[in-house]
Structure 1
Amino acid sequence: MKVVNAVHPEPKQAMQFFAGPEDGPFVMVNLLKFKEKAEYPDGSDSHLTGLQAYNRYAVEVRKLVEGLGGRIRFNGQVTGLLLGEVEELWDAVGLAEYPSLKAFQAMAMSPEMQAIEHHRKAGLAGQLNIKTKPGVGFE
């Protein structure tokens, strides 16, 4: 299995994702890898860790998610691996519930998101975003 962390999707990947069917609420699994030190383009806040920079983003993005009717279901530090093998573990996991793909896209493209995106970029070394549907297959 090939695993590649990224900070932003390639345009083709984003277009395919947002062209998917509108199938109601979903939960996005976020596997996060932080930079050791924050990297802001202007060199500011170089004393911050990547996690601290990302937390600036997280505080504000929670408001955006809740404002569109979603919620942050969980966030936590990765502390170990029981099964499988990866070269390097992610640092944290977040689960965010969105009411629809359209709502998620509107949030992702909003001026409010653009205003906080620099904190995300400063703190993240990479991540995986996995769209999931609740309750499918385990009933």
Structure 2
Amino acid sequence: MNCENAVFPPAEQAAAFFSAADDGPFVMLNLLKFRERAEYPDGSEGHLSGREAYARYGAGVRACLQAVGGEALYAGAITEIMIGAVDELWDMVALARYPSRAAMMAMIQLPEYQAIEKHRIAGLAGQLNIRTTPVARA
């Protein structure tokens, strides 16, 4: 199994995601890997770790999620792996619920989101975003 972290999806991957049929609510699993030091394009905030920069993003993204009917469900440090193996563990996991793909697109277009995204970019070395949907119960 190949695993590749990224800060942004390739254009074709993002287009495919947002143009797919909107089949309702989902939870996005975010596996996050932080930079040792935050990297802002203007060189500011060099004293911050990647985790600290991302925490600034996390503090603001909750309101953005709520603005589109979503919510932050959980965030926690990844401490060890029990089953399986990876070359390197991610640093953190975060779960966010969205009512739809359209709501997620609306969120990333919010001016408030645009203002905080610089902290996400500065803090992340890469991530995996995995869309999950509820399993029908018998």
Alpha-carbon spacing, 1:119–1:80, altered in 2? closer, same or farther (3 Å): same
Is the contact between residue 75 and residue 94 of structure 2 (CA under 8 Å) also seen in structure 1? Answer: yes
Normalized against structure 2, the TM-score is what? 0.96
2:76 match:
76
Residues 36-63 of structure 1 deviation map (CA, whole Å, 9 limit, x = unaligned): 1111111111110000000111111111
107-116 or 62-71, which moves further after superposition?
107-116
Conserved 8 A contact 2:30-2:130: yes
**Match for residue 127 of structure 1?**
127
For residues 27-84 of structure 1, the C-alpha deviation after alignment (integer angstroms, 9 at most, x for no partner) is: 0000000001111111111110000000111111111001111111110000000111
1:6 maps to what in 2? 6
Does the 8 Å CA contact 2:62/2:71 hold for their aligned counterparts? yes
Q: Percent identity at matched positions?
A: 55
SS in 2 for 1:81: coil
Structure 1 partner of 2:99: 99
| 1:110 to partner: Cα distance | 2.6
Shift of residue 137, structure 1, vs aligned partner: 5.7
Equivalent residue of 1:27, what SS? strand
Paired residue secondary structure (2:84)? coil
**1:106–1:89: structure 2 CA closer, same or farther, 3 Å change rule?**
same
Q: Which amino acid aligns with 1:95?
A: L
Q: Give the count of matched residue pairs.
A: 138
Gaps of 5+ in 1: none
Distance in 2, matches of 1:137 and 1:99, equals 17
Q: What is the TM-score normalised by the length of structure 1? A: 0.95
Code of the aligned partner of 2:43: G
Q: What does residue range 1-139 of structure 1 map to in structure 2 within 5 Å?
A: 1-134=1-134, 136=135, 139=138
CA RMSD, aligned part only? 1.1
Deviation, structure 1 residue 20: 1.0
Q: How far 1:90 moved relative to its partner?
A: 0.2
Counterpart of 1:17, as a letter, is F
CA contact (8 A) 2:67 2:107 kept: no
